[in-house]
A and B are shown apart, each in its own frame.
Chain A
Amino acid sequence: MKHEEHPMRKYLRPNKKMPTIWCSGCGIGIFVQSLVRAIDRIGYSKDDVVMVSGIGCSSRIPIYLDFNTLHTTHGRALTFATGVKLARPHLKVITIMGDGDAVAIGGNHLIHAAKRNVEISAFVINNHVYGMTGGQCSPTTPYGLKTTTSPYGNREAAFDVARVVEAAGAAFVGRATVYHTPLLDRLTEAALRKKGFAMVEVIAQCVTYSGRWMGLASPAEMMTWQRDNSVRVERAKEMSETELAGKMVIGVLTDRERPTYNEEYNELLAEESKV
Chain B
Amino acid sequence: MKAVLLQGNEACAKGALAAGCRFYAGYPITPSSEIMEVMAREVPRLGGVFIQMEDESASLGAVIGASLAGVKSMTATSGPGFSVMQEHIGFACMTEVPCVIVDVMRGGPSTGLATQPSQADVMQARWGTHGDHPIIVLAPSSVQECFELTAKAFNLAERYRTPVIVITDAIVGQMREEVTLPEADMEIEVRPQPTVPPEEFVPYDDPGNCVPAMPAFGDGYRYHVTGLYHDVHGFPTTQSGEIDFLIRRLFSKICQASQHLQWFDSWYENSETMVIAYGCVARSALRAVREVREKGLDVGLTKLKVLWPFMDATISGVLDNCRRVLVPEMNFGQISREVERVNQGRCEILTLNKVDGTALTPPEIVRKLEEIHS
Q: Is the CB of A73 within 8 A of B88?
A: yes
Expressed in whole angstroms, the Cα–Cα distance for A269 and B46 within the complex equals: 9
Q: A213 an interface residue at 8 Å Cβ cutoff?
A: no
Q: Do residues B55 and A84 form an inter-chain contact, with CB atoms below 8 A? A: no
Does the CB pair A88–B53 fall under 8 Å? no
Contacts A76-B88, A84-B217, A87-B70: A71 and B65 contacting too (C-beta < 8 A)?
no
Could you tell me how many residues of chain B have their Cβ less than 8 Å away from some Cβ of chain A?
44
Chain A residues closer than 8 Å to B65, beta-carbon distance: 52, 70, 79-85, 87
Nearest CB of chain A from residue B161's CB, rounded to whole Å: 15
- Are B23 and A70 within 8 A (Cβ)? no
| A87 interface neighbour in B57, B66, B223, Cβ under 8 Å | B66
- A142-199 with Cβ < 8 A to chain B: none
Closest B residue to A71 by CB, please name it.
B226
CB-CB under 8 A from B346, the residues of chain A are none
State whether B69 touches A69 (Cβ < 8 A): no
Among the stretches A60-68, A131-139, A221-229, the one at the interface with B is A60-68
Q: A50-B217, A68-B218, A70-B65 are in contact. Are A86 and B49 (CB under 8 A)?
A: yes
Contacts of A254 in B (CB 8 A): none
Distance between B312 CB and nearest chain A CB, rounded to angstroms: 32
Is the beta-carbon distance between A68 and B25 smaller than 8 angstroms? Answer: no
CB B222 to nearest CB in A, in angstroms, measures 5
Cβ-based interface call for B182 (8 A): no
Asked if residues A80 and B54 are in contact (CB atoms below 8 Å), the reply is no
State in angstroms the CA–CA spacing of A91 and B217 once bound together: 8
The interface of chain A, by Cβ under 8 A from chain B, is: 13, 15-17, 46-48, 50, 52, 62-63, 66-73, 76, 79-88, 90-91, 108-109, 111-112, 265, 268-269, 272
Stretch at the interface among B228-236, B248-256, B315-323: B228-236
- Cβ contact within 8 Å between B70 and A68: no
Interface membership of B71, Cβ < 8 A: yes
Pick the most buried of B60, B61, B71, B236: most chain A CB atoms within 10 A of its CB.
B61
| Distance of A87 Cα from B51 Cα, bound (Å) | 11
**Distance in Å from the Cβ of B129 to the closest Cβ of chain A?**
11
B58 at the A interface (CB under 8 A): yes
Contact in complex: A72, B227 (CB < 8 Å) = yes
Q: Which residues of A contact B226 (CB under 8 A)?
A: 63, 70-71
Do B57 and A86 touch across chains, with their CB atoms under 8 A apart? no
For A52, the closest partner residue in chain B by CB is B65
CB distance from B228 to the nearest CB of A (A): 7
Given A62-B224, A73-B88, A83 contacting B216 (CB threshold 8 A)? no
Say yes or no: B69 contacts A88, CB within 8 Å: yes
Whole-angstrom distance between the Cβ of A68 and the nearest chain B Cβ = 4
Contacts of B228 in A (CB 8 A): 71
* Chain B residue nearest to A46 in the complex (CB): B222
Q: How far is the CB of A3 from chain B (nearest CB, A)?
A: 23
Please report the C-alpha to C-alpha distance between residue A81 and residue B227 in the assembled complex, in whole angstroms. Answer: 15
Report how far A8 CA is from B265 CA in the complex, Å: 61
Looking at the assembled complex, report how far the CB atom of B272 sits from the nearest CB atom of chain A, in whole angstroms. 51
Contact B66 A84 (CB under 8 A): yes
Query: How far is it, in angstroms, between the C-alpha of A47 and the C-alpha of B217 when the chains are bound?
Result: 8
A-B residue pairs in contact (CB < 8 Å), sample of 23: A16-B235, A47-B222, A50-B217, A52-B65, A69-B222, A69-B223, A70-B217, A72-B61, A73-B227, A79-B59, A79-B60, A79-B61, A80-B61, A82-B51, A82-B62, A83-B65, A83-B68, A84-B65, A87-B71, A87-B73, A109-B58, A109-B61, A265-B49
Are A83 and B70 in touch, CB under 8 angstroms? no
Could you tell me the distance in whole angstroms from the C-beta of B147 to the nearest C-beta in chain A? Answer: 24
Contact A71 B225 (CB under 8 A): yes
Q: Which of B184-231 contact A (CB under 8 A)?
A: 216-220, 222-228
CA distance A265 to B52 in the complex (A): 12
B177 within 8 A of A: no
Which residues of B sit under 8 angstroms from A62, Cβ to Cβ?
Answer: 224
Contacts of A76 in B (CB 8 A): 57-58, 61, 87-88
Q: For the complex, give the distance between the alpha carbons of A46 and B71 in Å.
A: 21
B51 / chain A contacts, CB cutoff of 8 Å: 82, 86
Cα separation A16 to B222 with both chains bound (whole Å): 13
Q: Is B47 an interface residue (CB 8 A)?
A: yes
Give the 6 A-B residue pairs with the shortest CB-CB distance, closest first: A83-B65, A79-B61, A83-B62, A87-B66, A80-B65, A87-B69
Chain B residues lying within 8 Å of A90, measured Cβ to Cβ, are 218
Contacts A71-B226, A79-B57 known; A84 to B45 CB distance under 8 Å? no
Task: Provide the residues of chain A in CB contact with B45, threshold 8 Å.
Answer: 272
Q: Is B127 an interface residue (CB 8 A)?
A: no
4 new A-B contacts at CB < 8 Å, known A71-B224, A73-B227, A79-B59: A13-B224, A68-B222, A76-B61, A83-B64
Chain B 337-356 interface mask (CB, 8 Å, partner A; 1/0): 00000000000000000000
